[in-house]
């Protein structure tokens, strides 16, 4: 009987193992630098009821048709708009809200910072001052750190679920707008696309930072990852569409620093005579001459609203959908972020839930008590 109790005790206690589960983590290390261009790209969502279809002609037969937004939609465009500025990609696979500027995963810099360091390089390099190799190397290293930096990386261990999140500048918090988020993991012969989401709940606090309202999120179970140890590329994209409206976009140059849009566009007021008004007026006249009733509603005499035009005053049509990727910014391409999968050590214990652990302890203690009583 003693052996039976001993054996049972060993089995039960062996089922309870303290597990220090390694959590997926974000390795912050300075962020990848990007030049902040003095540009701005606003996007406006305009409902169908506020769209204007311009139909103009110069010879009475060939119509030029293009779309604009009404004056009221233009005046209220700030209520349903989003803007990307500088070198931002609009959507990122790592958070931009680091605990400090040094840990911002999408750090940026402007041209004045580059120029200041370049002046030091010229001075210590002998172009504008006495040559100083030590100071020259320091200045060159500062420029390298500014332009390249050390990118952040996600890290998980085999078997772990994975939560990643990033910034999303172009989230329209509007039930009329549909947003689809896709995350991609590639490398080592693997190419996985996983559905993500936009966080619309109150801010979530994680060990890797706060997941804010409007951030893009990936909550992936390990069974959907099943990745071998190694380094992978991680990126995220967003597709935005609506059957209830369309999206206008401008491309603005705000200053002389940094790279500029070569094809800027902007909203401009446009007033065109409505050809349909002339036809309505003719029908009304004919009915009056014939002594007949005429009940057709009067159409607007002019189409007045705002259209997007380039510098040559050519109209740029709005779009019913938008697409953004973390590897493409307004003016340049970005590298994908890094996901590191670490091998699980052979001696890693099997995780058990806290409630089950409590039961195992109680049963184990009871078995030991019985054993002690039996001995007595």
Claim: this prediction has a pTM higher than 0.85: no
- Statement: residue 352 has pLDDT above 50: no
Q: What's the mean per-residue pLDDT of the chain?
A: 82
- Statement: residue 136 has pLDDT above 90: yes
Which stretch of 86-100, 136-150, 309-323, 350-364 has the lowest confidence by average pLDDT? 350-364
- On the 0-12 / 13-18 / 19+ scale of CB atoms within 10 A, 285 is exposed
Q: What is the pLDDT of residue 57?
A: 63
Q: What is the pLDDT of residue 100?
A: 63
Higher pLDDT, 223 or 273: 223
User: What is the Cα–Cα distance from 85 to 233, expressed in whole angstroms?
Assistant: 25
Return phi, psi of residue 200, to 5°.
-115, 5
Q: What is the pLDDT of residue 268?
A: 96
Region 134-157: what's the mean pLDDT? 86
Q: From the DSSP assignment, how many helices (H) and strands (E) are in the chain?
A: 7, 21
- Statement: residue 248 has pLDDT above 80: yes
| Tens-digit pLDDT profile for residues 43-71 | 999 999 999 988 766 555 556 788 999 99
Around Cβ 105, how many Cβ atoms within 10 Å?
26
Helix (H) or strand (E) segment spanning residue 255: none
User: What is the Cα–Cα distance from 296 to 280, expressed in whole angstroms?
Assistant: 8
Which stretch of 8-17, 42-51, 66-75, 118-127 has the lowest confidence by average pLDDT? 8-17
% of the chain at pLDDT higher than 70: 79
Q: Which residue has the tokens 């002998």?
A: 126
Which stretch of 76-90, 91-105, 115-129 has the lowest confidence by average pLDDT? 91-105
**Count of all residues that appear for the chain in the document:** 376
């Amino acid at each position: 009987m003693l052996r039976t109790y001993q054996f049972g005790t060993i089995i039960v206690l062996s089922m309870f193992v303290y597990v220090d589960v390694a959590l997926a983590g974000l390795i912050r290390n300075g962020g990848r630098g990007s030049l902040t261009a003095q540009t701005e790209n606003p996007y406006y969502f305009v409902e169908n009821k506020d769209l204007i279809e311009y139909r103009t002609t110069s010879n009475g037969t060939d119509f030029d048709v293009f779309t604009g937004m009404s004056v009221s939609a233009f005046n209220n465009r700030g209520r349903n708009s989003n803007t990307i500025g500088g070198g931002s990609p609009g959507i990122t696979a790592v958070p931009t809200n680091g605990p400090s500027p040094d840990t911002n995963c999408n750090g940026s810099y402007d041209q004045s910072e580059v120029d200041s360091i370049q002046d030091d390089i010229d001075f210590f390099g002998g172009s504008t001052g006495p040559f100083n190799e030590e100071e020259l190397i320091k200045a060159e290293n500062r420029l390298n750190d500014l332009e390249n930096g050390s990118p952040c990386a996600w890290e998980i261990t085999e078997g772990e679920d994975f939560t990643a999140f990033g910034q999303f500048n172009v989230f329209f918090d509007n039930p009329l707008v549909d947003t689809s988020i896709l995350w991609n993991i590639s490398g080592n012969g693997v190419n996985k696309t996983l559905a993500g989401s936009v966080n619309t709940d109150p801010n979530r606090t994680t060990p890797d930072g706060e997941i804010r309202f409007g951030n893009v999120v990936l909550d992936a179970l390990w069974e959907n990852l099943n990745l071998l140890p190694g380094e992978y590329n991680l990126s995220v994209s967003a597709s935005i569409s609506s059957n209830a409206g369309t999206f206008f976009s401008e491309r603005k140059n705000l200053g002389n620093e940094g790279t500029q849009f070569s094809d800027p566009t902007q909203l401009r007021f446009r007033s065109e005579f409505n050809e349909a008004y002339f036809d309505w007026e003719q029908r009304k006249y004919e009915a009056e001459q014939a002594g007949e009733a005429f009940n057709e509603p009067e159409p607007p005499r002019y189409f007045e609203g705002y259209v997007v035009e380039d510098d040559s005053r050519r109209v740029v049509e709005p779009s019913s959908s938008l697409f953004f990727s973390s590897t493409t910014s307004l003016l340049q391409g970005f590298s994908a972020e890094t996901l590191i999968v670490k091998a699980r050590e052979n001696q890693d214990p099997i995780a058990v839930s806290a409630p089950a652990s409590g039961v195992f302890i109680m049963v184990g203690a009871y078995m030991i008590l019985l054993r002690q009583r039996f001995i007595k």
